[in-house]
Amino acid sequence: MVVEIEGVPLHLAHPDELPVNWLGQDEVMRQLLAAWLVIDPQDLPMSPRLLGKPGVGKTTLAYAAARRLGREVYILQATVDTRPEDLLVTPVIEGEARLRYVASPLVTAMLRGGIAILDEGNRMSEKSWASLAPLLDNRRYVESIVAGIKIRAHPLFRMVATMNDDASTFDLPEYIHSRLQPQILIDFPERHEELAILRENLPFSNEQILNYVTDFLQQAHSADERYTVRDGINIARFALKLAQETSRAAGAEMLRTAIVQTLGEEALRYVPRSSD
The string of pLDDT tens digits covering residues 187-225 is: 999 999 999 999 999 999 999 999 999 999 999 999 989
Q: How far is CA 246 from the centre of its chain?
A: 36
For residue 178, give the DSSP letter. T
Do 28 and 152 lie in one domain? The reply is yes
- Give the pLDDT confidence score for residue 99 in this predicted structure: 86
Domain boundary among 132, 167, 185: 185
| Number of domains the chain is built from | 2
Question: Does 276 fall in a domain?
Answer: no
The answer to the question of residue 149 being in a domain is yes
Q: Give the C-alpha separation, 184 to 145, whole Å.
A: 33
Query: Sorting pLDDT into bands at 50, 70 and 90, what band is 249?
Result: low
- Positive or negative CA dihedral for 28, 33, 36, 38? negative
Tell me if 151 is assigned to some domain.
yes
N- to C-terminal Cα distance for the chain? 57
Q: Are residues 106 and 152 part of one domain? A: yes
Last residue of a domain, one of 144, 165, 185: 185
Q: What is the DSSP string of 148-166?
A: TEEEEPPTT-EEEEEEE-S
Q: Indicate whether 217 belongs to any domain.
A: yes
Same structural domain, 73 and 176: yes
d(CA 26, CA 33): 11
Same-domain pairing of 161 and 75: yes
Mean pLDDT for the chain overall: 91
Percent above pLDDT 70 for the chain: 96
Q: Which of 133, 151, 185 is the last residue in one of the domains?
A: 185
Q: Which of 230, 219, 226, 215 is nearest to 275 (CA)?
A: 215
Q: How many other C-beta atoms are found inside a 10 Å radius of the C-beta of residue 126?
A: 12
- pLDDT of residue 17 exceeding 90: yes
Structural domain that includes position 19: 2-185
Question: Strand 8-11 vs strand 2-5: parallel, antiparallel, or unpaired?
Answer: antiparallel
Single-letter amino acid code for the residue at 38: V
Average pLDDT over residues 176-182: 93
CATH code, 101: 3.40.50.300
For 169, other C-beta atoms within 10 Å of its C-beta total 16
Let me know whether 249 and 160 are in one domain: no
Give CA–CA dist 39/227, Å, rounded: 39
- pTM value > 0.75: yes
48 occurs within a structural domain: yes
